[in-house]
Amino acid sequence: MVTVLALTACTSGTSSDPVVGSATAGGVVGTAGGGGTSAPSSGTPTPTGLTPEAYRAELDKARGPIREALKKLDATGGKGLDERLEKTVASMEEAVARLEALMPPPEVRTAHGAYAGALRRLVAALSAAQEDVRAQEVCTGPAVLTGVQEAGQLSPVRESGNALADLGDYRADVVPVKVGKERSRRLSNGKYINSEGRPGRAYLELKNGNSRDAVVVLVRGKKKAIRVYVRKKSKFRIQGVRDGNYKVYYTLGTDWDSKDRSFTRSCDFEQFGKSVRFRTVRTSTQIRWTDWTITLNAVKGGTVRPKRIKPGEFPG
């Protein structure tokens, strides 16, 4: 015999796509000139700039921090992305400012100017991306880099760096990562990202009426027992859920990155507003258990209010 309980949910009204549910149990080149003034009568020569060797050394001082910052940004997922991007911008800003203050050898001044300018525009693009990260429109480091590439700010850095290198073996390759195009990757509906054994009798049905795909995580105690993918406008039933009390978390978004275990764009993170308990009762004559149904979208008349959480709080 199956025991059926019921809960309803209310909308929070905090976004255009609220995640509220119901549950039913069952990154200026200096010039040598002085602004048009004539040379001193003493015949002091106009400065000619750094020697090629000294210039190479200065390029390397800037190259290292920029490459390291971009590597760290690309290699990380969504947790703490805002803070990491801020550190990337600060590190690159300092390095580019050093380049802009240099007096390079005369034969490379034009190329140096193009290189420093391209880097400055890249820093500006990364700085602007911070707003999208805060709004969770961009959710991973690789997605940030894809965005600035799509905006045309990475190719000029590579091209100007190559042009500078051709003039004297100057190392100016500062983009050490491969940046992909914008994608919209999805898993199949009901795909388990991970799951413990499911020997129980109960089921948990998940309904996603939202306009974005979802990943649902069931946590029992400290154990992330089940992670499952539920496509938009779809439902899926997890069969054989073990007895216990579960906290239910879910993230909605676009383009699932399986490596980072995160959506790369338009992501939200929620914790369902009520723990769900699965219990099996055996008597001499019968076995009873509890089934649940959870709806991830707003439902009229609902009473279960979800808790909006930070990306770092999501058990991904």
Are 141 and 198 within one domain?
no
- The answer to whether position 18 is within a domain reads no
Q: Which two tokens stand for residue 139?
A: 């959710």
3-class DSSP state for residue 272? coil
Same domain membership, residue 216 and residue 162: no
At residue 78 the predicted structure's pLDDT band, cuts being 50, 70 and 90, is: low
| pLDDT tens digits, one per residue of 12-65 | 333 444 444 445 544 333 333 344 444 444 455 556 789 999 999 999 999 999
Evaluate if residue 141 carries a pLDDT over 80.
Answer: yes
Residue recorded with tokens 């808790």? 307
Q: Judge if 152 and 259 occupy the same domain.
A: no
Q: Name the nearest CA neighbour of 291 among 208, 204, 216.
A: 204
Report H helices in 101-187: 109-134, 141-150, 155-166
Does 198 share its domain with 163?
no
Q: Does 241 fall in a domain?
A: yes
Beta bridge partner(s), residue 316: none
Domain end position, chosen among 135, 167, 199: 167
- With 60 as the cut, is the pLDDT of residue 7 above it? no
Decide which of 124, 151, 167 is a domain's last residue.
167
> At which of 128, 151, 167 does a domain end?
167
Q: What is the pLDDT at residue 12? A: 37
Q: What is the total count of domains within the chain?
A: 2
45 belongs to a structural domain: no
Residues 67 and 159 in one domain: yes
| In a shared domain, residues 160 and 204 | no
pLDDT band at 128 (very low <50, low <70, confident <90, very high): very high
d(CA 83, CA 272): 27
Bridge partners of 239, per DSSP, are 203
Are both 232 and 307 inside the same structural domain? yes
One domain, residues 63 and 103? yes
- What is the reported pLDDT for 34? 40
Q: Confidence band (pLDDT; 50, 70, 90) for 298?
A: confident
Which amino acid is residue 155, in one-letter code?
Answer: S
Residue 195 or 20, more confident: 195
Query: 149 and 196, same structural domain?
Result: no
Average pLDDT over residues 217-230: 96
Residues 207 and 121 in one domain: no
Instruction: Give the structural domain span for 155.
Output: 52-167
pTM for this prediction: 0.81
Res 27: pLDDT: 36
Inside any domain, residue 4: no
Asked whether residue 28 is assigned to any structural domain, the reply reads: no
**What CATH number did the domain enclosing 282 receive?**
2.60.40
Tokens encoding 63: 């190259």
